[in-house]
Amino acid sequence: MRVSELCFQIALELGLTTFLDYRLFLVGAEGYGRMLFDDEILDEVMEQHNPLNPNVSKKIPKLMDRISYFFNKNEISKDLNFIYRKAVFLGTEDEKNVNGQEPKRLHLFVSQLFLDIARGVFLLDYGQYQLAVAISAYLRIGGIEEKDKRYINVKDEDIQKAVPRHLLVTKPLEDWRQGIQERWIKLTKEINELVGTGNDGNQGDLEFIRKTAAANMLYSLVVSNPLYGCMIYLVQIAEETLKHLKPGFPITVFLAVKESGLHLFNSTTKELLKTIGIGYIKSVYINHKTIHFRGEDIVYKFSTHSSLEIATIFELYQGLFRFHIKQAM
């Protein structure tokens, strides 16, 4: 089976009508891994990453079971998993429209946002992390009121789901719990005011609407963050490119590929250092360990093992950019 076929079947299984922005990724023991390309054969991928066990593909059940197998990230071996995640981001308004029309996409995407928040992708403050955990608890359990707080505690799993480990240890766990519980109560009140209590309606539908409202709050929390809406890669800037950048520019940076172009971030502070507009790039050249973006007067060259993946994502955005230009003529 090709990767494109499995992605299509996953979308059918999940009931998605818009899904071309989602891709299948290989995740190894070291963490988040590479994107699988549409024409790759899954059995070959598994055999390639399990050279000591050429029969690993025989552990995979039939087609419909296989879809659930990959989506739930069950182990194929001790160090090989797959994850289905969003890789291409449209403009903010377009994303809001699609999520509004298809709430299942929003709920799927929120699961990905929690992973990124816990990995420390976004620069959030203490209160924002508390809110993220409160949303996680709301999505898992539902709302709580002031009178309930003696009986319902914030679970460790919710805290760990939305707070990076290095930040979690900066305050006593009980401080986190108390702050999150207050946020949870406030969140419940806000959603009840927004959606209503629905005493005379279908409680199942109302519960989904409430959880969709909570999911939208998480989306709103990160959508304006500079590192939202992009694929991020740790790269090294080639010496010939550094000559064209300001003195002291770091060699190792985060390269973020977005709809608007290429963005270089400090790999430690996540400060935005430089933006290269998508319309500026005239062509892209790759080999196994480098990628070259040729601009009007500068070639930006980066060393990376993800050159094909970066080029694939960038060219998708470039195609959208050219399409919009033609539409505007």
Provide the pLDDT for residue 49. 63
Does the structure show a pLDDT above 80 at 273?
A: yes
Quote the pLDDT of residue 61.
Answer: 47
CA separation for the pair 265, 150 (Å, rounded): 44
| Cα–Cα dist 2/40, whole Å | 6
Return d(Cα 172, Cα 126) in angstroms, integer: 13
Judge whether 289 and 60 are in contact, CB under 8 Å: no
The answer on pLDDT for 15 being more than 60 is yes
Residues in the chain: 329
Task: Tell me the per-residue pLDDT of 62-114, one tens digit each, with 9 for 90 and over.
Answer: 444 444 444 444 334 444 567 888 999 987 788 888 888 888 888 889 988 99
Q: Is the pLDDT of residue 234 over 80?
A: yes
Place of tokens 């060219």: 315
pTM, entire model:
0.82
Nearest CA-CA partner of 262 in 279, 242, 238, 248: 279
Within 13 Å, how many C-alpha atoms sit on residue 75's CB side? 6
Q: Could you tell me which residue, 248 or 161, shows the higher pLDDT? A: 248
Q: What is the pLDDT of residue 66?
A: 45
Alpha carbon dihedral 213, 215, 220, 224, in 10-degree steps, equals -160
pLDDT number for residue 304: 95
Q: What is the pLDDT of residue 312?
A: 93
Please check the confidence at residue 125 and state whether its pLDDT lies above 70: yes
* Higher pLDDT among residues 33 and 119, named by residue: 119
Determine the average pLDDT of the residues in 197-222.
82
**Rounded distance, CA 15 to CA 24, Å?**
17
pLDDT bin (cut points 50, 70, 90) of residue 185 is very high
Q: Nearest-CA neighbor of 281 among 305, 268, 259, 298?
A: 298
Top-confidence range, 94-103, 153-162, 275-284 = 275-284
The tens digit of pLDDT for each residue in 280-320 reads 999 999 988 999 999 988 999 999 999 999 999 999 998 88
185 contacts 146 by C-beta, under 8 angstroms? yes
Residue 201 has pLDDT above 60, yes or no: no
Q: Give pLDDT, residue 64.
A: 43
Q: What is the pLDDT of residue 32?
A: 57
Q: 19 pLDDT band (50/70/90 cuts)?
A: confident
- Can you tell me the mean pLDDT for 107-132? 90
> What's the chain's average pLDDT?
83
